[in-house]
A and B are shown apart, each in its own frame.
Chain A
């Protein structure tokens, strides 16, 4: 079982739709959680950190469920520019600290 798992998609949604992604992690020693966005042939960029209390940034909402070991990303009012791959990232303490990226979920927003 992979340490961080995501549905690869692709998710094809119309503009204005609400879309949600989940990411599960297997190691309870996971300490920090992030969502990154990666555009085609570009580097990953931080979208948002994920805090235990949940957090929102404009149209984006991230939540963490430690009991069930998953994090989620909700995108409201999807824009064409939201089309990208969304990477779930977990930093866990296992000896030292390990940064683990999920394989990513592809999103296509269509007009």
Chain B
């Protein structure tokens, strides 16, 4: 199994630009999670999906952030417009179940907004 795949691995953009992060979960996993990691705030859950449906987006910092999961094998996290404080590592993870179940993380996307 290829594991969780994320693209791009690195993104450098200018403030105000739109950023789209992509994720392909492990096949057969029903849950998909988007996290953000910074030195100051650690690893934070932004949103998670179950069977392609967003379940909890309370961690999404503001309206500039949006996430979609059009099918079981693809999800996007979009930031529009981006700001320097959005600079972080964004991880996607997937799992078969929610409780007592390993979340498998992708390698992350390192985002730098100048």
Binding site for B on A (CB under 8 A): 31-32, 34, 42-46, 49, 87, 91, 95-104
The reply to whether A91 and B99 contact each other, CB–CB distance below 8 Å, is yes
Residues of chain B within 8 A of A42, CB atoms compared: 107
Known: A43-B105, A43-B106, A91-B98. A98 touches B45 (CB 8 A): yes
The reply to whether A103 and B42 contact each other, CB–CB distance below 8 Å, is yes
How many chain-B residues does the 8 Å CB contact rule pick out? 22
Q: Mark B47-61, 1 if CB is under 8 A from A, else 0.
A: 010000001101000
Residues of chain A within 8 A of B107, CB atoms compared: 42-43
Q: Is B102 in contact with chain A by the CB < 8 A criterion? A: yes
The reply to whether A45 and B99 contact each other, CB–CB distance below 8 Å, is no
Q: Is B43 in contact with chain A by the CB < 8 A criterion? A: yes
Residues of chain A within 8 A of B58, CB atoms compared: 98
